[in-house]
Chains A and B, each alone.
Chain A
Amino acid sequence: MTDDKIAVALRGITKRFPGVIANDSVDLELREGEIHTLLGENGAGKSTLMNVLTGIYRPDAGSISVFGRTVQLKTPKDAIDLGIGMVHQSFKLVPTHTVTENIVLGLGRGFSRVKLDEAQARVATLSKQYGVKVDPNALVWQLSIGEQQRVEILKILFRGAKILLLDEPTAVLTPQESEELFHTLRSMREQGHSIVFISHKLDEVMTISDRITVLRGGKNVGTVLVQDTNPQDLSHLMVGREIKFATFPKKESRGEQVLEVEGVDALNTRGLPALKGVTFSVAAGEILGLAGVAGNGQQELAQVITGLQRPTAGTVRVQGADMRGKRARHFIDAGVSYVPADRHGVATVGDMSLSHNSVLRRYREPKFGKGPLLNFNAAIGYARRLIKEFNISTPGHATPVRSLSGGNLQKVILAREMTTRHHLLVVMSATRGLDVGATEFVRKTLNDHRHQGGSIVLISEDLEELLSLSDRIAVIFHGEIMGIVDAETARIESLGLMMAGQRLSEVA
């Protein structure tokens, strides 16, 4: 390789955050006109490296050269000027602005007029050139996640970027939307763009990449050509050991219906319909998976079946009892537990100790207090037991939960919520952001719960997780259940089509 074909060269990039080294002397070479995948587990340092390359973080050591020139990236503007653009995992869009306004933001100075007409025409040309479909006049908050991602891509192309970084772009897409994205990426490669693609999904990495660099624990542990590798080798490099995707045996016999949801409608926080006529049921000893692209009513559904939000129509029955007009506390008393997606904001109180957090669900019980007084010793004893049982690694029961890692925090939440048997567990995005070890632990815990006769509503965007754990899978789209299928016989393609809005009858 001669030097002039290298688009970006990173040498010895090191970036420290308080207590962690996110990037440890990382080298990376991006050739012109290639799709280069950055593979690694959560926390391996992929996003940090890309943030260094876009000028958001400043590295503590190392050098960056772009098209053969050594550069200093002090601000995002420097990166943009060099033709580097990034599609972040959480989109950087202003929801209340139009697509075009978002695209031209930051391009003009001061009191000059925004020439929206010209910009719109250029956006239209670009979307045709690269096959990126989006309405330039739409308001961003009205767009689907897939469309918002296209706006991000157009934003970068509009700035004439030659180097595109995409941080886990497929995490929020349906399989079909991912296909469309890959189509766009290939067409960009043909037109000479260099692309860094971040992912931890091995199958799609094998499909789209030219070369693959694996990061582990902040270090580059190898760069390989796609034709010289296979998913097994990659996973080995990524995790540092063989991973076996555990399969979970389903329970043969199911019990009585624990949760029955019938014709439920509900509104979202904007006051718009979020659930429309949702009907399903979960039996004892069953895991019902709920698949769907984020933001299709999962949050509202979880809140309705845990009593945090009242449906505007329909009924929810827990163990046969109509829960109409009941509050979250009644749901708790009826044996409903909730592991929300937002571990810091909803599930725990960050500044409170582990022991206090662990009794949040049960502090009213006589064993934890008398009248208005709490028995802190009982709480501490209880927390110690949970720490042991769930193998939570923490300095002690008095540690504020804010300082726990994601995996340990999730263990605290699970431990608290799984106190009684034969009850209903509502779990949302249970393993998101967890490392492999913690993920395995959580999945095993959920499986055990089923085998002890408990019921679970498992809400997840991870189809593999749903397929391996669930007995049945329901797919939600725009607040409606598109269909419920048996996990044993479900095909990933039909699930994908249902996630994109087709009914079971149409895809079967």
Chain B
Amino acid sequence: MEASPLVLVVAVLQAAVRSGTPILFVCIGEIYAERSGVLNVGLEGLMLVGAIAGFSVGYSVGNPVVGVIAAAIAGALFSLIHAYVTITLRADQIVSGLTLTILGTGISGFFGKPMIGQVGPGFDQIAIPGLSSIPILGQVLFRQDAMVYLSYLLVPIAWWVMYKTHLGLAIRSVGENPATADSLGVSVTKVRYGCVLFGGAMAGLGGAYLSLAYTTMWIEQMSGGRGWITLALVIFAAWNPARAMLGAYLFGGADALQLRVQAVGIEIPTYFLMMLPYVLTITILVLASRASMRRRIGAPAALGLPYAREER
């Protein structure tokens, strides 16, 4: 049976949104953390912790919403380690983040053992009345699950808070020049803790999407490198929550496309197809780092740097 090309395109796009959504959550959280000056390369570990926490709580309660809330809390708590080590103790952010990934992989594997093979509760597709009947676009965007709709809400809110509120101004200033923010009475420590915990909660949500919506089961290391890809997408997004959406769906599209091509059975080795999203990531990074781009979209100037007031 041969599907019409249009139906195929719509299906791929719909899958792109689904596939991009977990990354979108993680990306928004990491944008906030990095805007405040804290790089968290432990996203992979945080996603796994969120995925297993979300799945096991959702599974035992029988309610995916409770699972999602649990995942966000677990992500925030787990990222508290990173916040304490890098903000209070002023240790190296990369090392701490890497530790978080290793720890998260181990912990999720350990607690996930009894969950392997279980099928948990999940989010159903909800067609939004009216909007979903828009041709193509309605199919792609408005026949999705509740978490996708949550992400639609989150993006504009995250953008508005970042660029229009006092909190956002404080976050951006702390990441650019913490001494300045400090001298004006903004607590660098509080802002950074808040952003790192928010980033952790978002990474938890991203993980939960994988185990409660994208699939309804727990698979070891099911984040599959999405945490790492997010780090590249933050750069692509130029630390702007609105652009994160574009980046996440672009990656989601590559992912959806490779699965579809595999399914159709085109004779390209599957390994090459599976590489596609990652090749895309590297390409994006190269493009984003070109000198001409760098001038326009700089990283937060204090990214990666611990802040101590009384130093001379």
Contact = CB atoms under 8 A, between A and B. Distances in A.
Given A76-B183, A88-B183, A96-B298, A110 B176 contact: no
A57 B310 contact: yes
B170 A106 contact: yes
A95 B185 contact: no
Nearest to A109: B166
A95 B182 contact: no
Interface in B278-312: 291-292, 295, 298, 301, 309-310, 312
B41 to A, nearest CB: 24
A143 to B, nearest CB: 15
Given A56-B183, A92-B179, A96-B176, A105 B169 contact: yes
A54 interface: yes
Of the listed residues A93, A94, A96, A114, the one surrounded by the most CB atoms of chain B closer than 10 A to its CB is: A94
A110 B166 contact: yes
A106 B186 contact: yes
A370 to B, nearest CB: 39
A86 B183 CA distance: 9
Interface in B163-182: 164-170, 172-173, 176-177, 179-182
Contacts of B179: 92
A444 interface: no
B291 A271 contact: yes
B161 interface: yes
Interface in A457-498: none
B165 A114 contact: yes
A80 B186 CA distance: 12
Given A56-B309, A94-B172, A95-B176, A105 B184 contact: yes
Q: Interface size for chain B: under 10, 10 to 19, 20 to 34, or 35 or more residues? A: 20 to 34
Given A57-B310, A92-B179, A105-B173, A110 B185 contact: no
Nearest to B184: A106
A225 B215 CA distance: 80
A107 B309 CA distance: 20
Contacts of A245: none
Given A56-B183, A76-B185, A92-B179, A97 B166 contact: no
A450 to B, nearest CB: 36
Given A104-B169, A114-B164, A114-B169, A271 B177 contact: no
A93 B185 contact: no
A394 to B, nearest CB: 21
A113 interface: yes
A89 B179 CA distance: 13
A102 B169 CA distance: 9
Give the size range of A's interface with the partner. Answer: 20 to 34
A105 B164 contact: no
A97 B185 contact: no
A121 B263 CA distance: 61
A93 B128 CA distance: 47
B239 to A, nearest CB: 11
Interface string B69-98: 000000000000000000000000000000
Contacts of A57: 310
Contacts of A54: 183
A69 interface: no
Contacts of B295: 270-271
Contacts of B301: 95-96
Contacts, number: 87
Contact of B185 (A88, A106, A112): A106
A3 B7 CA distance: 85
A76 B182 contact: yes
Contact of B184 (A17, A80, A109): A80
Nearest to B175: A94
A437 interface: no
Interface in A85-136: 86, 88, 92-97, 101-102, 104-114
Contacts of B165: 108, 110-114
A384 interface: no
A54 to B, nearest CB: 7
A221 B306 CA distance: 38
Contacts of A270: 295
A113 B177 CA distance: 21
A97 B167 contact: no
Contacts of A110: 165-167
A297 B307 CA distance: 30
A93 B167 CA distance: 17
Nearest to A110: B167
B176 A111 contact: no
Contacts of A75: 185
Contacts of B168: 114
B180 A93 contact: yes
Contacts of B185: 75-77, 80, 106
A106 B42 CA distance: 30
B183 A97 contact: no
A111 B181 CA distance: 17
B176 A105 contact: no
B181 A106 contact: yes
A75 B310 CA distance: 11
Contacts of B176: 94-97
Interface string A63-81: 0000000000001110010
A166 to B, nearest CB: 14
A105 B173 CA distance: 8
Contact of A111 (B167, B173, B182, B292): B167
A4 to B, nearest CB: 28
A290 B161 CA distance: 47
When A and B form their complex, which 9 residue pairs have the shortest distance between CB atoms, in order from nearest? A108-B166, A77-B185, A106-B184, A92-B180, A94-B176, A92-B183, A106-B186, A106-B185, A94-B177
Interface of B: 161, 164-170, 172-173, 176-177, 179-186, 291-292, 295, 298, 301, 309-310, 312
6 contacts: A57-B310, A76-B184, A96-B298, A97-B172, A106-B173, A111-B161
Given A92-B177, A104-B166, 7 more contacts: A77-B185, A93-B180, A95-B301, A97-B172, A105-B169, A106-B173, A112-B166
